[in-house]
A and B are shown apart, each in its own frame.
Chain A
Amino acid sequence: MTGQLNFPALWPYWPELLSGLWVTIQLTVLATTGGVAIGIAGAALRSGKPGWMSRLWGIYVELIRNTPFVVQLFFIVFGLPALGLKLTAGEAALLAMLINLGAYSTEIIRAGIQVTPKGQWEAGRVLGLTRSQTFLRVVLPPALQRIYPALVSQCIIVMLGSSVVSQVSYEELTFAANLIQSRTFLSFEVYLVTTLIYLALSIVMRHLLLAIGRKWFGVQPS
């Protein structure tokens, strides 16, 4: 060991870390709720009648799932302004996360819908429900219950992935860590503390979302 670790020197910077954490939480809440909503719409489209809309959505899903998030982010951050669309760093970050989670959750929710017996659709129609009513009230709830744990894992992956948006100067948790690192040069210490904050956040998020699933969505504990 040549250098000594110096954690106490980080103490004055806790407000920066805290405000970064708060931004990460806000970003995560917006991205996960919006992304899952996009996924539900996408899964409805993909489970409905085949057509060009459904096929186009399928291409979007495969494009997103087979390219890195950071490239998607750069494409949005550098590409959209070239088209004359000006976005703030926060808007671009949120947009990239929504597009990303939208694709993943489409596939996850679609998998839940696929195993729904066909009779459920037919029963809904026989009872006089419209197609969209059948989807929203009969098919979707048990499908969501079934894939809920996978959806929770994907939302956590998106939260962890949000650390990448620091690269486009959005001032979330990793950005705060980079800032403190550049002021103190205590690189290892700062990133270790930040890593542990992310770990705590992912543990809390998992327990919270699973508890919400059990309480409000009737998800069976596994």
Chain B
Amino acid sequence: MMTTFSDWDILRNLLLAARWTLLLSLVAFVGGTLVTLPLLFLRLLQRRWLTRVIRGYTALFQGTPLLMQLFLAFFGVGLFGIDVAPWTAASLALTFYTSAFLVDIWYGSIRALPKGQWEASRCLGLTFGQTLWRVIAPQAIRIGIAPTVGFAVQVIKGTALASIIGFIELTKAGTILNNVTYQPFKVFGLVALGYFLMCYPLSRYSQYLEKKFNAAHHH
């Protein structure tokens, strides 16, 4: 049997697969945020051993290839006798990967604020939680948003590696289509274009936010 793929077939299949890239990115980012928030809170307690553990956690995920993390999630969960779908393994690995970077970015944003902010709030009788929520967070978010949006680009690009453990998203769809059409230029050109359309607006937005913040900061 011989099937021919028209340009429209290629494009349609890539677009359908791109939905999974977007969904996986979203899951990784939301999951990453949920893991980051408690870690950030623990980091702010300034206990020496907690700081050390969290630093080790970030060093581990930042100092090893994402591909290895995906393999470990894929085969590691399997050790417990649970049959893992590539989707589950990819979501899990990307969630931890994302959190390891977000905790650094967000802690850095909080640390960038003058120490007097904490002291003043405590003097005014605010609790640790109140200080964090009402004084620190609103300011830290303004500092942290540009690098956070910039990091979202890394997450989207990172999801491409999920193709290697068999999750069918944009890159995997590209390799499958390339195998049947033998048109690598067209197929991978379109795949690259797909990522570019997702990432470039975020990159630009991140740069815009950074400029805006810097301008506000200097005046």
Residues of chain A contacted by B76 (CB below 8 angstroms): 188
- Contact bitstring B137-172, A, C-beta under 8 A = 1, else 0: 000000000000000010001101101100000010
Task: Let me know if B80 and A2 touch, CB within 8 A.
Answer: yes
A174 to B164, CA, bound (A): 12
Chain B residues numbered 176-196 whose CB sits less than 8 Å from any CB in chain A: 178, 182-185, 188-189, 191-192, 195-196
Known contacts A66-B200, A70-B163, A167-B164; A75/B67 CB under 8 A: no
Task: Let me know if A67 and B157 touch, CB within 8 A.
Answer: yes
Report the nearest B residue to A205, measured CB to CB: B63
Known contacts A66-B153, A188-B75; A71/B68 CB under 8 A: no
The residue from A62, A72, A74, A174 contacting B67, defined by CB atoms under 8 A apart: A174
Residues of chain B contacted by A66 (CB below 8 angstroms): 153, 157, 195-196, 199-200, 203
Query: Is A82 close to B, CB under 8 A?
Result: yes
Known contacts A70-B163, A71-B160, A194-B68; A203/B63 CB under 8 A: yes
Task: Let me know if B203 and A71 touch, CB within 8 A.
Answer: no
Query: Is A68 close to B, CB under 8 A?
Result: yes
A195 to B96, CA, bound (A): 15
Most buried by B among A70, A160, A174: A70
- Contact bitstring B36-75, A, C-beta under 8 A = 1, else 0: 0000000000000000000000011001111111011001
A2 to B158, CA, bound (A): 31
Query: Is A48 close to B, CB under 8 A?
Result: no
A101 to B87, CA, bound (A): 30
Query: Is B129 close to A, CB under 8 A?
Result: no
Q: How far is the CB of B119 from chain A (nearest CB, A)?
A: 26
Most buried by B among A74, A161, A192: A74
Task: Let me know if A79 and B185 touch, CB within 8 A.
Answer: yes
The residue from A82, A156, A203 contacting B184, defined by CB atoms under 8 A apart: A82
Chain B binding surface, main DSSP class? helix
Query: Is A184 close to B, CB under 8 A?
Result: no
A35 to B72, CA, bound (A): 30
The residue from A69, A166, A174, A192 contacting B72, defined by CB atoms under 8 A apart: A192
A19 to B164, CA, bound (A): 23
A23 to B198, CA, bound (A): 34
Query: Is A63 close to B, CB under 8 A?
Result: yes
The residue from A65, A69, A192, A194 contacting B203, defined by CB atoms under 8 A apart: A65
Known contacts A68-B171, A71-B191, A78-B178; A195/B64 CB under 8 A: yes
Task: Let me know if A202 and B64 touch, CB within 8 A.
Answer: yes
Report the nearest B residue to A189, measured CB to CB: B75
Report the nearest B residue to A70, measured CB to CB: B160
Task: Let me know if A161 and B195 touch, CB within 8 A.
Answer: no
Task: Let me know if B63 and A63 touch, CB within 8 A.
Answer: no
Query: Is B81 close to A, CB under 8 A?
Result: yes
The residue from B171, B175, B196 contacting A63, defined by CB atoms under 8 A apart: B196
- Contact bitstring B190-214, A, C-beta under 8 A = 1, else 0: 0110011001100100000000000
- Contact bitstring B78-112, A, C-beta under 8 A = 1, else 0: 11110000000000000000000000000000000
12 additional contacts, CB 8 Å, given A65-B199, A70-B160, A164-B161?
A: A63-B196, A65-B153, A66-B153, A67-B157, A67-B192, A69-B157, A71-B192, A74-B175, A82-B185, A174-B67, A191-B68, A198-B68
Across the A-B interface, the 7 shortest Cβ-Cβ residue pairs: A78-B184, A68-B160, A66-B199, A187-B75, A2-B81, A163-B65, A68-B157
